[in-house]
Structure 1
Amino acid sequence: VTFETKGVITLPFPNPDFSQRRIYWQVNLESQGIVLSDRQLDTLANRFRLSSEQIAGAVKNACNQALWRAASEFEELPLNSTIKPTLNDLLVAAREQSGNNLTELARKVSSKYNWQDIILPTDAVAQLKEICNQAKYRHIVYDKWGFHRKLSIGKGLNVLFSGPPGTGKTMAAEVIANELQLELYKIDLSQVVSKYIGETEKNLNRIFLAAETANAILLFDEADALFGKRSEVRDSHDRYANIEIGYLLQKMEEYEGISILTTNLRQNLDEAFVRRLAFTVHFPSPDEASRRQIWEGIWTEEIPLSPDIDFDFLARQFKLSGGNIKNVALAAAFLAAEADSAVMMEHLLQGIRREYQKMGKVWDNVLTG
């Protein structure tokens, strides 16, 4: 028997949507005797875009983690004891099921910071929490309430952080990643942009394809490298630069995760681009009260501090960013370690002097009294 070949038919198998993922979570959990609340099931299905196999693997790994933890707490587990994973176990296991293809294209950031670590104006903190809430409750607005039918573009959550260096933009991204228990990847746009026509789009496409399986937050650092003000098209280079910007906007809107762009120069960004973002959060240079909070909060409990340190004077006299203050504190800690003493005012002033040198500022001894 011979068959005449007419061609190959490709049948697409799309990733499961929110409703399907929720069913997969529920079935796999109930098979292990685990019953979660509707809100907890929603959280798992909404937060991670996983396949049915990945969800099954996450449940299995979370159960194993719970058993290992119980075994380490008890010398002998009680007979007929039922050890069930917590929601946090399941969230961690789901994150571990996500792909790691992004590691070849971006740098994974270890998110260390929480809400208590970041010092910003009240409205900026409120915006950061609104960003988290949009990620947490997108399944309600878009899926249950059907708001996706009103959108002509994708459901990507695109954010711009603007402000001077050292004011907490990367820290804020880490806070969001910790709050949502998602991985954070930092992309250096200067490495993505290519002088060869079409290569920038290929690089961006690879990043977003990898991000889909990574369930990650994308942090595009120093967005000015690509998103400068678009001028009139005078030559082919200008035309392709605009194509690159338009392509990135399209991919950001299609990506069902969070994309964060940082810039030190908000005024250089094209307003047409800014209008397409969900949030623009400004990170101002800290005022005196904020600087005092940063000075007091930068230290660990183990670091010995001399009672002679005048935080009011430091905050009032030196207009430093949070990043600068961290550098000064670290330098002062090393000076104290060398002297085998507590951190003293003289160590901090020496650290500030070195920081001024790095910043190209003139050190005036009058400032120190």
Structure 2
Amino acid sequence: MLRLEIDTPAYGYRREVWQRKAHTVNATLTEDELATLANKFRFTYMQITRAVQTAADLAASRGEFPTRADVYAGAQIHASIQLGHLATRITPRKGWNDLILPPDQLSQLHEICDRMLYAQIVNEEWGFGSRASKGISALFSGDSGTGKTLAAEVIAHELGLPLYKIDLSAVVSKYIGETEKNLSAIFGEAQTGSAILFFDEADALFGKRSEVKDAHDRYANIEVAYLLQRIENYDGTVILASNFRHNLDDAFTRRLDFILEFPVPDAEYRRRIFEVHFPPTAPLSPEVDLAQIAAKYRLSGGNIRNVTLTAAYLAAADGRVITPSHIRSAVRRENQKMGRLPED
């Protein structure tokens, strides 16, 4: 028996196929747009063919030739993957203006996007491909509600790629070999769609390797080593989120491309987050001083989102104007949920 391993086509071949197929449906794409498509979507020949045909169908419904937007829409449709109960697809709707972070963290998030956007230049044209890892791996660490999931959504929105949040409760199994089987299914399926994989609470899966005392410890360490290998061989982007960075295996974190700390926002950043979460059309009372509220209540971004929504519902049932009293009541409810002492 002759065994042949068929890998994903190389960048140059993908770019040539995108160009040829786009030409057959009269879709005009620039050199940069062709390069971006070939780099972002690591498709096979048939996937590119189907994506371009879908773009042509979308344009035909309007009686037009396919545009750049049609081709990207077709590519995103065929980038969808089937992971069943193992993951949930998140539709990215948030942009950079929705993300309130210190300059250094924002700069690193832009660098993650740039590494994906310009990979073909660095790896293919400049010859770094043989020295660099295939994809991008990043760790987002910080307290709950500090913006880790939102940052992953912003990256997916910027890159125009599908985002899948991995359900660790469905992935991790007590049965030997089952966790690796689930992970193999995730990475294998994601490879065909260039998806961004988001592992929340990653310390549950990527924890420190322990001293081997029994067969269970030995197998747990094998799982971590297997995960390292799959992440390094994945062509796309893997984002890990953890509330406790120190719980992650040190050898593992050293091999990540990016490590970002998401701090609890200070008063000034809390004020800006309040302003983002109160829409311009929200009926805020003139008595509401967001700077004063932000200085008084130490809340994370996720808490502030909940407070603004709760205050809006309280106001809708009571006078239709959001007052300081409604915001104080909303903060009290949020503190109760977190088990904190009430704040006046």
Q: Distance in 1 between matches of 2:61 and 2:282?
A: 34
> What residue is the counterpart of 2:47 in the other structure?
54
Q: Please tell me whether residue 276 in structure 1 is matched to residue 242 in structure 2.
A: no
Find 1:128's aligned residue among 105, 109, 114: 109
**Do 2:56 and 2:65's aligned partners in 1 also have CA atoms closer than 8 Å?**
yes
Percent of aligned positions with the same letter in both sequences? 50
C-alpha distance in structure 2 between counterparts of 1:224 and 1:133, whole Å: 27
Question: Partner of 2:266 in structure 1?
Answer: 287
- State how 1:207-246 maps to structure 2 within 5 Å: 207-246=186-225
Q: Match for residue 59 of structure 2? A: 66
**Match in the other structure for 2:287:** 308
1:328, CA displacement in angstroms?
Answer: 0.7
Deviation larger for 354-363 or 221-230: 221-230
Indicate conservation of the 8 Å contact 1:142/1:148, yes or no.
Answer: yes
| Whole-angstrom CA distance in 1 between matches of 2:16 and 2:247 | 46
Larger radius of gyration: 1
Matched position secondary structure for 2:129: helix
| Shift in Å, 1:364 | 3.8
Select between 44-53 and 30-39 the one with higher mean Cα deviation.
Answer: 30-39
Q: Deviations over 1:279-319 (max 9, x none)?
A: 00110000110000011110223321111111111111100
- Cα deviation digits, residues 247-267 of structure 1 (max 9, x gap): 011001111000000000112
Taking the aligned partners of 1:117 and 1:253, their CA distance within structure 2 comes to: 31
Q: How many residues align?
A: 344
Is this contact kept in 2: 1:182–1:215, CA < 8 A?
A: yes
AA partner of residue 62 (structure 1): A
Segments of structure 1 that go 5 or more residues without pairing to the other structure are: 1-7, 72-82
Please report the TM-score for the alignment, with normalisation by the length of structure 1.
0.89
Match of 1:107 among 88, 92, 107: 88
1:249-268 mapped onto 2 (5 Å cutoff): 249-268=228-247
Distance in 1 separating the partners of 2:197 and 2:272:
29
Matches within 5 A, 1:1-369: 8-69=1-62, 83-151=64-132, 154-365=133-344
The range that moved more, 293-302 or 30-39, is 30-39
Q: Give the drift of 1:99.
A: 4.2
**SS at 1:123's partner residue?**
helix
Deviation at 1:67, TM superposition (A): 4.0
Superposition RMSD on alpha carbons, in Å?
1.6
State the 1:52 CA deviation: 1.8
Q: What amino acid sits opposite 2:89 in the alignment?
A: K
Structure 2 contact 27–68 (Cα < 8 Å) conserved: no
- Partner Cα distance (1:133, 1:171) in 2: 18
Q: Provide the secondary structure at the position in 2 that maps to 1:171.
A: helix
Deviates more, 1:163-172 or 1:234-243: 234-243
C-alpha distance in 1 between matches for 2:86 and 2:193: 12
Query: Unaligned stretches of 5+ in structure 2?
Result: none
SS at match of 1:186: strand
| Stretch of structure 1 that moved more, 324-333 or 228-237 | 228-237
- Distance in 2, matches of 1:88 and 1:36, equals 10
